[in-house]
């Protein structure tokens, strides 16, 4: 089969579906950030479930894409190896080349935005966890909640925190 006879229709369809899912994941990530900042855990939990659903769909589409590109390799009589989208573009028709190039140009910045969004949300969650640990530490009145087993001289500390805490008192 000649290069111009290869059918890129399935690949284009899958890539468009993946692009749409990436846009949805970016929107979910931005909404998650707002709920993290506002400490709305129920809404955040719902968004995490939505995100997991989208990621599951994305994984299924990626598996299909690998099958389709494998078929394209056979149709184009190319060596079996992983090709990037930009390497496959020259084998498509002119109209398909334009659409593939457009998809390629859409994916790159979108994936960068998605990566940045995920990193920002991760940082916010870590900060939130550290703040919660600090607050618990202050309430429990322990010098270091993870490392209070020994005294400064190396001997074992008495059971329980070094001094009275808020929870040791009757109110």
Q: Note whether 100 and 8 are within 8 A (CB).
A: yes
Strand partners for 150: 156
Structure tokens at 10: 């399935």
Has residue 169 been placed in a domain? no
Has residue 157 been placed in a domain? no
What backbone torsions phi and psi does residue 63 show, to the nearest 5 degrees?
A: -65, -40
Identify the band that residue 1 occupies on the pLDDT scale cut at 50, 70 and 90.
Answer: very low
CATH number at residue 102: 1.20.58
pLDDT for 169: 47
pLDDT at 160 over 60: no
Has residue 164 been placed in a domain? no
pLDDT for 64-110, tens place per residue? Answer: 998 998 888 888 888 777 678 888 889 999 999 999 999 999 999 99
Structural domain harbouring 122: 3-142
Has residue 58 been placed in a domain? yes
pLDDT for 118: 95
Has residue 159 been placed in a domain? no
On average, the pLDDT of the chain sits at 84
Structure tokens at 109: 């910045």
Count how many domains the chain has. 1
Has residue 73 been placed in a domain? yes
Has residue 107 been placed in a domain? yes
Q: DSSP state, 120?
A: H
């Amino acid at each position: 089969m000649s290069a111009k006879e290869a059918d890129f229709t399935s690949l284009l369809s899958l890539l468009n579906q993946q692009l749409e899912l990436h846009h949805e994941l970016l929107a979910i990530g931005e909404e998650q950030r707002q709920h993290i900042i506002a400490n709305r855990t129920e809404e955040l939990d719902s968004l995490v479930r939505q995100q997991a659903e989208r990621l599951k769909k994305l994984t299924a589409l990626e598996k299909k894409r690998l099958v389709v590109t494998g078929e394209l390799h056979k149709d184009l009589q190319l060596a079996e190896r992983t090709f990037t989208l930009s390497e496959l573009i020259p084998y498509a028709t002119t109209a398909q080349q334009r659409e593939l190039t457009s998809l390629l140009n859409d994916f790159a910045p979108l994936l960068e935005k998605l990566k940045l969004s995920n990193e920002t949300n991760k940082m916010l969650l870590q900060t939130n966890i550290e703040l919660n640990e600090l607050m618990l530490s202050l309430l429990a009145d322990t010098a270091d909640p993870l490392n209070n087993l020994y005294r400064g001289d190396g001997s074992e500390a008495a059971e329980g925190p070094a001094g009275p805490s808020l929870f040791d008192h009757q109110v």
